[in-house]
Amino acid sequence: MKTSIRSKKFTMGILLFLAIILFLSVSSAVFLYRLSMKTSAILKENHYSVVYARDLSENLTIINQEITNCLLINKTPDTELIKKELNSFNESLQLEKNNITEIGEDELVSDIETGFKEFRDSVGGFIKSPKEISKVIFLQQKFGNLYQQLMLLSQMNGNAIEEKTEDAKISAKNASIQMSMIGAICFLLAYGFTFSFASYFNERFFQLYNGIKEVVSSNYRQKLQFDGNDEFYEISLAFNEMADKLYNNKHEMSVTLHDELVKDVITTDIQAMKEALTRVKIMEKQIAELLSRIEKR
């Protein structure tokens, strides 16, 4: 079966380049996915916890300020505000409980929850008896403990963000190095195939060019020898057949010209002989007439 350059060489080249492009695309997608997962983990696992800790601190601070103002200016506590901030604190705390990722964070959140329950109960007692200094002092102690725990929670996740960010930077650097190496290898493969492909055609075009030059120079014995079973092989067969026909035509033409030349020479000689014989006959006749005249005298 005939092997076509178009179906073999070009197809192999196109498939190779497509494979290289696909491999680079998949490799890039894998590295980007890994990096994206690391950054997503930072956002989901730690950044949200820092935000929750900040919200919890704000809720706690607003409640503590309301209690302190009530004591200092001797006013009735704003129960709606306190209730709102307590509910907001509880919601943020539940969100943080569902986002525990670091070692020791679950214990810290559990302590915060326990301290918040005690603080909430104490706030309820303060609302009922806002004039008791002892309750205010106890609330200040609970506020201080909870605030420190919330700062520790924020610091824990902040440190985790720094560590994971550094790890993501290292991963990005390693991915860049690996992609550079993969790109270099793919470039060498593509360059090697391109060089081989070009050499394949250059060699055959050079042989074909030399063969045509020899034929133009009337060297019809020149032959093209191409290996394989592709279009170049078929061209070589057609070229060799053409050269053989030209050689045979030249040989036949030479024989024909030689025969015609010999025939022309023979014809010319016969004509010359005929003319010579005619001249001899005329001369014989003239001699006979001359002799007869002499005899009559």
CB 54 within 8 A of CB 154: yes
pLDDT in the model for residue 10: 63
- Asked whether residue 112 is assigned to any structural domain, the reply reads yes
Question: Residue 234 phi/psi, 5° resolution?
Answer: -65, -40
- Asked whether residue 210 is assigned to any structural domain, the reply reads no
Instruction: Assess whether 62 and 161 both reside in one domain.
Output: yes
pLDDT in the model for residue 1: 44
pLDDT in the model for residue 58: 92
Instruction: Assess whether 171 and 229 both reside in one domain.
Output: no
- Distance in angstroms between the alpha carbons of the first and the last residue of the chain: 105
Instruction: Assess whether 185 and 240 both reside in one domain.
Output: no
Pick the last residue of a domain from 194, 228, 257.
194
Instruction: Assess whether 112 and 58 both reside in one domain.
Output: yes
- Asked whether residue 199 is assigned to any structural domain, the reply reads no
Burial of 224 (0-12, 13-18, 19+ CB in 10 A): buried
Residue whose entry in the numeric block shows the structure tokens 């670091």: 102
pLDDT in the model for residue 266: 53
Instruction: Assess whether 113 and 155 both reside in one domain.
Output: yes
- Asked whether residue 201 is assigned to any structural domain, the reply reads no
CB 126 within 8 A of CB 134: no
Instruction: Assess whether 223 and 189 both reside in one domain.
Output: no
Instruction: Assess whether 165 and 257 both reside in one domain.
Output: no
- Asked whether residue 204 is assigned to any structural domain, the reply reads no
- Asked whether residue 39 is assigned to any structural domain, the reply reads yes
Non-local CB neighbours of 4 within 8 Å, separated by 6+ positions: 230, 231
Q: How many domains does the chain have?
A: 2
Instruction: Assess whether 92 and 189 both reside in one domain.
Output: yes
Give the domain CATH number at 62.
1.20.120.1730
Domain range for 231 is 218-297
Non-local CB neighbours of 130 within 8 Å, separated by 6+ positions: 70, 71, 76, 77
Question: What does the alpha-carbon distance between residue 244 and residue 238 come to, in Å, rounded to a whole number?
Answer: 10
- Asked whether residue 113 is assigned to any structural domain, the reply reads yes
pLDDT in the model for residue 250: 65
For 211, how many CA atoms within 13 A lie in the half-sphere containing its CB? 23
Instruction: Assess whether 18 and 126 both reside in one domain.
Output: yes
Pick the last residue of a domain from 158, 178, 194.
194
- Asked whether residue 256 is assigned to any structural domain, the reply reads yes
Instruction: Assess whether 19 and 74 both reside in one domain.
Output: yes
Instruction: Assess whether 24 and 62 both reside in one domain.
Output: yes
Radius of gyration of the chain (CA): 55
**Averages of pLDDT over each 10 residues, the chain, 297 residues:** 53 76 80 71 74 90 85 79 89 87 86 88 79 78 89 87 78 79 81 74 74 68 66 70 70 57 56 65 63 58
pLDDT in the model for residue 279: 65
pLDDT in the model for residue 182: 80
Instruction: Assess whether 148 and 246 both reside in one domain.
Output: no
pLDDT in the model for residue 195: 75
Segments in 217-230 forming alpha helices (H): none
